[in-house]
Structure 1
Amino acid sequence: MNPIRCSAVSQDKRWLVTGDVGPDAMVNIWDTYTGTPIQTMFDPNPKGGVIAVALTPDSRFLATLSALPLQTLAIWNWTVDGDVPICSADLKPEYGVQSFIYFDPTDIHHLVTNSESQVLFFHWEESYIQYYAPPLSDKDFNKPVGRYSQSLFQIGIARALTATSLGNLVVWDNNRPLSKIMDVNQSADKKPLKIIKVHDKGINVLTNTDNLIVIGDTAGHIKFFDQGLRLIYWYQHLHTGPCTAVSFAYNPEFSPVAREGSDFPSDATKQAKPFIVRDFIVGTAIAVYCSVVTDGTKLKVILREHDSAVHALDCHPRLPVVAIGSYSGLLKLWNYRTKEVIASRMFEKCHIQCVAFDPKGFLIAVGCTNGVVYLVDSVALLNQINDAYKYAHDAITHIAFSHNSTYLATADAGFTITVYKRQRKEGRNPYVWHGRYRSHYKPIKDLLFDVHLDTNDPKLLSLGEDRMLIEYDLHHFGKTNNHVVPCAEDRIEQGAIPLCMTKYPPIGKEHFFLTANDQFKLKCYNTTTKMCRKTVLGPTYGSPIRKMMIVPTVENEGENRFMAYITDDKVGLHFLPATGNPHLAMALIAHPTGVSNLACSFDGAYLFTAGGPDFAVHMWEINIAALEAQCKLGGEDLVPFYGLLEGGRDGELFAELEDLFYYAQLRHQGISSLEKRQIKNKVPISEVPFIMRAMGFYPSEQEIQDMLNEIKYDEYVNLGHYQQDIDLGRFIKLYVNHRPAFGLSPDKLLWAFQTLSESPDAGKGGLIERGDFLNMLQKNGEVMTESELAEHLSTLLGFNNEGGTCEDETWQELDFVAENLPFDINAEILVNEILGFSMTVDPPAAEDTKDVIKSGAS
């Protein structure tokens, strides 16, 4: 999906044309009566899309301007064939980016386009197209021209007009006499005739209606001129912002004759005749759209939208209402069933970053980028506190209420948590400052209120980019008035970066919360012990999950639960419980420029996504039946997981896994054992790490512990004892869920080496001394003892058999092994000679200081 860059509507308002810019761009012609596309032109410009479109007055032909630096103007007979244009012309780059098209209403074979610096006039037939570029500079008429905005042809005379940013109209006339042979009413070759100053402000809109020329300027004024450029009437009291569009109503029975009882204003002529013009709509640069009924001069604002990035989004917990806030400072309450705005408020000099309803829906907390927090009611958006909370100095990124409304917590860009506590005194602020703590050293990714299972009291959790999950003591009483301090700190990731978390629904006997990381993994943690109990492969739709929430239900909370989530540009649903089955999830492109936030209606019927820079909020209807059908079609039991193995059920990888399962049993029973072998369909969980490594997946010790815990505690609640072994099917699920989603990344390996080589301990930039290398392995990360390091290096360098120990005790000495390592180790030596991967390391380019690893044979 690409952002729509341009649009045009037919004269009778029946057909709407939209064009976008980006890969796989298209031009759509829509039926405005039904809202369905009736013609689609795929890749009208394969390398970039279109930036301007226009229809002829009879709607038969369509003109498009491509988005490339080398632009192309194309004419399409879209009613007959939308695959190829009937004619086209390439435009020279020195003419600038042409961004506006206008057909001559009296002769559709002439049209005009303009960029900010050049106007082009075209004459086309079905076999050819030619254009002229008349020059114009400030010296020609001894006055500044300004930047061009829009152009049009005058009606009845062979002239054209172009509006500029300095309030000028450039008048273009024929450059040569009309040809007596060609049956045309004007020439396409034009020259500038004069420049007329019609306003002090820049002109954004230039159009016409019923032989009147209409101008919309940056002051928000709408002016009407006749074809002689004499001012007839103007609207200067709209006060809706700089004008960007003017659209007149289509009425075939319209007549410029005043009816009895009408109340049209008088025009600016000496006769002061009634100024009769069609009703029109004005669009402005601040996203305000107003309707003007000319009979009686009635002005009505029909839509006031956000003109800056939209990031704040939350749904009412009991009513069909969604709160939307943006960087423009506008906060709106919108009823998504009646499609009406309930209330709106403009927060002056504030950029709204996030909003949250309290659990009962009475209050709304509003967080701004300047660190200010407002508390307003959810009916009229009036302040509920004497003054805004101003404890943070950085942007408020997250807001959360506890389940019983006792606490309100915020997280800011300064890596700090602020907590407010409810007080129920009449005439006092509903929430007062309770405590503040800077608990992370990297950005806070999510904030969550959970409950203590024994008391049902709230507990606060924060998740940071520093991979720390921190629980806070909300009842702390110390020497200071700060009642918020960490009571538990857990590092929940090693290499991956956690991105978000949410409470897991009660679909089992245990209580969990769910996290998502940048390695496309979903992890379940016990809410009490913080032990990782399950790791599964998450949706892999281009980018990892950025935010997720459990879809509410009005039925049994323990059945048929779903999780809604967003990625960089998509919105999706995931069936729960999560198992790693790829058919349990789906996703659709939501916003072409990215998704900034997600909210879900209280009844689980709708999702809302905010697009951030596109200033838009989309409402999605949830169709659970479609996802359930997808799950069924994907297969049951192990069938979906076979598809995640290279080659599937009949591939070499599965056959190798069966062999490794057998070898693991031999290894557990002793390779040299003479006793009768007892081959089963299960292996002890102690053999899991060895099988994983034999399969090409090299987990860390922490990852191994997480896998073993996942197996041991899988059925502990139901069976009352640990699982001590694992069968082949369960192992396949464990393998595809824990291994990297896209295999071992050579770039990641190179990045790790570069990071270590540039550290103060190594200090050579691209090289690591042998001593520093051994020292890092023994002191940093998951440290190794000297004997472990000697044994592993001996195996990697080929001094002893893999899987065994050195027969010669001399090889077990680290000093002996170290003598066989180069004094300076670079990335190629580490990758090829030590680790034994078949990868090549290219030398860095002249402008790039980082090496690039290219994967070879695995």
Structure 2
Amino acid sequence: SDESDESEPPVSLLVADDHLKLRVVDCETLTCVGVKCAPAYGDDPVAFLVPFGENRTDELFAYACARDVAGIGRLPIDGDPNKSMGVVAHPGPVLALAVSEVVDLDTDDDDADDASRPVTTRVFTLGGGGVGDGDGDDRGSVVSVWRVDVAAARKLGDEDAILSATATKRTAAMTKAQSKISARRVAGLLEGGAFGALAEEAKDAFAFAQLRAQGEDATRDRLVDVRRGTVPLADVADVMRFLGFYLTEREVNDLAVELTYEAELAGNPKPQSVDFDRFLALYVNRRPPRDVGMEDVRRAFEVILDGEGDAVSRTSLLEMLKTSGEAMSDEELSVIAKALGGEGASVEDLFPEEVTAETFAEDVLGFLPAEVR
């Protein structure tokens, strides 16, 4: 019925990538509607993730990283590091993960039937690295069984004020406050934390965006309030670029889709602006975990060359820039050439006749010679 359709939350698919992110994909439209920081332990990406719970609006999930960590967390995923926990589950890589409801046989009443016995949630992990023959990842594989305290897991990330309130007394204001607290925890993942140098730089960029939105040449008084103010949604990508995260046009569109999707789920109109806490959470959740390095450049050139030699011709490279991916126009390439080579520089001046990964990194991206080696 139409009523049941309205009460049913949308079905989403969680996709983990090697950039330590979890992407939320709407199964009906196959659209990415969210990018969040995954539970992170060093540079170990999530390899397995299994949702579980009594209902679809208050679910938990079990996960395992590629190396040796397994844990549980709360849905929906928003990047809050306090909403998940993990332990070293095996001495070697985790090879498989499963979740099951198990009848608890450890009761004092031996005569009780299975229907009256309590049911507990167990997480099963298969991991290697134990004692055994062979030298593969599955050497000495062991199955470990973990008992989950579901009641405690559902409180992961909640503040004391929220925990002490009963379900009927959790007001909308409390829920909004919890959301703000969660966003600030995400900001704590920045270098230096939520009050470090990068966070302060983000405040300056946010304040400048507020000034721009009110008119850079205005003579009237302009209001700048990072704590309570907002910036237009159209300016969010520029503020992120100011902080060194250069989004593609597709990523800019994904930002708008995510905010619109969240508003629709909450029954709110499409947002036209974002406050600082929400902006910082979007930035932390979407920025890459590390800067582009020489190995990334080499891998990109391996894809371009497809096994044919060590260099690509200048003509072929320029043609790719104009036709592949988010294609660039001649005008855009000219602007880039002037920015990198000075007034009067052309695109041809940026590249030699034959371009290698090393020359591209050093001459165009500005890598230091020591970084190229």
TM-score, normalised via structure 1 length: 0.35
Corresponding residue of 1:536: 36
Could you tell me how far apart the structure 1 residues matched to 2:320 and 2:262 are?
Answer: 36
Distance (Å, rounded) in 2 between the aligned partners of 1:590 and 1:650: 33
Q: Is 1:637 aligned to residue 174 of structure 2?
A: no
| Matched residue, 2:148 | 622
Q: 2:22 aligns with which of 522, 534, 546?
A: 522
Which residue does 1:259 correspond to in 2? none
Q: 1:44 maps to which residue? A: none
Which of 88, 97, 103 is 1:598 aligned to? 97
Max radius of gyration: which structure? 1
Higher relative contact order (CA 8 A, sep 6+): 2
Q: Which whole-Å CA distance do the structure 2 matches of 1:528 and 1:522 have between them? A: 18
* 1:646 aligned partner: 191
**CA distance in 1: counterparts of 2:253 and 2:71, whole angstroms:** 31
1:176-187 superposed matches below 5 A: none
> CA separation in 2, counterparts of 1:797 and 1:819?
8
Q: 1:787 aligns with which of 312, 316, 331?
A: 331
Q: Given that residues 511 and 526 in structure 1 are in contact (C-alpha distance below 8 angstroms), is that contact kept between their aligned partners in structure 2?
A: yes
For residues 726-782 of structure 1, the C-alpha deviation after alignment (integer angstroms, 9 at most, x for no partner) is: 1110011001100112343442233213443x337xx540x3332222111112222
Q: Give the distance between the partners of 1:622 and 1:513, measured in 2 at CA.
A: 23
Q: What is the match of residue 270 of structure 2?
A: 722
CA RMSD, Structure 1 to Structure 2 (Å): 3.1
1:571 counterpart residue number: 70
Counterpart Cα distance in 1 of 2:353 and 2:295: 24
Which of residues 82, 104, 126 in structure 2 aligns to 1:610?
Answer: 126
Where do residues 46-195 of structure 1 align in structure 2 (5 Å cutoff)? none
User: Which structure's residues are more often helix, by fraction?
Assistant: 2
CA distance in 2, matches of 1:518, 1:841: 23
Residue 574 of structure 1 aligns to a residue whose secondary structure is strand
Aligned to 2:306: 759
Q: Does 1:834 align with 2:364?
A: yes
Structure 2: segments with no counterpart, 5+ residues: 102-118, 128-137, 161-177
- Secondary structure of the residue aligned to 1:698 is coil
| 1:235-290 C-alpha deviation (Å, 9 max, x unpaired) | xxxxxxxxxxxxxxxxxxxxxxxxxxxxxxxxxxxxxxxxxxxxxxxxxxxxxxxx
Contact 2:123–2:146 (CA under 8 A) maintained in structure 1: yes
The counterpart of 1:773, out of the listed 317, 321, 324, is 317
Per-residue CA distance 1:26-79 (angstroms, 9 max, x = gap): xxxxxxxxxxxxxxxxxxxxxxxxxxxxxxxxxxxxxxxxxxxxxxxxxxxxxx
Note if 1:548 corresponds to 2:49.
yes
- Alpha-carbon displacement from aligned partner over 1:62-105 (angstroms, at most 9, x marks no partner): xxxxxxxxxxxxxxxxxxxxxxxxxxxxxxxxxxxxxxxxxxxx
Q: Check 1:646–1:508 CA distance in 2 against 1; reply closer, same or farther (3 A cut).
A: farther
Corresponding residue SS for 1:740: coil
1:749 alignment partner, one of 297, 306, 330: 297
- 1:699 alignment partner, SS class: coil
| Larger strand fraction of residues | 1
Q: Kindly provide the amino acid, as one letter, of the partner of residue 100 in structure 2.
A: S
- Report the equivalent of 2:166: none
- The answer for the alignment partner of 2:132 in structure 1 is none
One-letter amino acid of the structure 1 residue matched with residue 349 of structure 2: E
Counterparts of 2:159 and 2:267, CA distance in 1 = 32
In 1, distance between residues paired with 2:350 and 2:48? Answer: 49
- Please say if residues 362 and 372 of structure 2, whose CA atoms lie closer than 8 Å, have aligned partners that are also in contact: no
2:133 paired with 1:589: no
Distance 1:577 1:747, change over 3 A: same
**Partner of residue 687, structure 1:** 235
| 1:265 aligned partner | none
Asked if the contact 2:350–2:363 (Cα under 8 Å) also holds between the matched residues in 1, the reply is no
Q: Which residue of 1 aligns with 2:203?
A: 658
1:609 Cα deviation from its structure 2 partner: 1.6
Q: How far 1:660 moved relative to its partner?
A: 0.7
How far, CA to CA, are the matches of 1:820 and 1:617 in structure 2? 56
1:566 aligned counterpart, secondary structure: strand
Aligned partner of 2:30: which letter? K
2-side partners of 1:546 and 1:522: how far apart? 11
Partners of 1:742 and 1:516 in 2: CA distance? 17
Once the two structures are superposed, what CA deviation does each residue of 1:136-168 show, in whole Å capped at 9, x if it has no partner?
Answer: xxxxxxxxxxxxxxxxxxxxxxxxxxxxxxxxx
8 Å contact from structure 1 (residues 828, 841) kept in 2:
no
| 3-state DSSP of counterpart to 2:191 | coil
Residue pairs, 1:423-502, within 5 angstroms: none
Deviation at 1:653, TM superposition (A): 0.9
Q: Assess, with a 3 A threshold, how the Cα gap between structure 1 residues 764 and 658 changes in structure 2: closer, same or farther.
A: same
Among 808, 811, 824, the alignment partner of 2:354 is 824
Q: Partners of 2:235 and 2:286 in 1: how far apart?
A: 16
TM-superposition CA deviations, 1:419-471 (whole Å, max 9, x none): xxxxxxxxxxxxxxxxxxxxxxxxxxxxxxxxxx98x9xxxxxxxxxxxxxxx
Identify if the C-alpha distance between structure 1 residues 639 and 670 changes in structure 2 by more than 3 Å, giving closer, same or farther. Answer: closer
Q: Letter of the aligned partner of 1:564 in structure 2?
A: A
Kept after mapping to 1: 8 A contact 2:337/2:350: no
SS in 2 for 1:708: helix
Moved more, 622-631 or 603-612: 622-631
What is the Cα deviation at residue 698 of structure 1? 2.0
Match of 1:227 in 2: none
One-letter code of the match for 1:550?
A: P
Counterpart Cα distance in 1 of 2:254 and 2:372: 36
Name the amino acid aligned to 1:606.
R
- Aligned with 1:522: secondary structure? strand
- Give the Å deviation of 1:688: 1.5
CA distance 1:593–1:651, shift in 2 (3 Å): closer
- Aligned-residue identity in percent: 30
Q: Which runs of 5+ in 1 are unaligned?
A: 1-452, 457-505, 800-809, 844-858
Q: Which residue of 2 aligns with 1:708?
A: 256
The letter of the residue matching 2:331 is: S
Asked if 1:699 is matched to 2:247, the reply is: yes
Equivalent residues of 1:586, 1:627 under 8 A apart: no
Runs of 4+ in 1 over 6 A off after TM superposition: none
Contact 2:351 2:360 in 1 (8 A): no
Deviation readout 1:365-420 (Å, 9 max, x if unpaired): xxxxxxxxxxxxxxxxxxxxxxxxxxxxxxxxxxxxxxxxxxxxxxxxxxxxxxxx
Number of equivalences: 320
Aligned-residue offset at 1:523: 1.4
Shift of 1:695: 0.9
Deviates more, 1:614-623 or 1:576-585: 614-623
Deviations 1:788-826 (A, max 9, x none): 222233323343xxxxxxxxxx77xxxx33235433333
Distance 1:743 1:627 in 2: 34
Deviations 1:308-367 (A, max 9, x none): xxxxxxxxxxxxxxxxxxxxxxxxxxxxxxxxxxxxxxxxxxxxxxxxxxxxxxxxxxxx
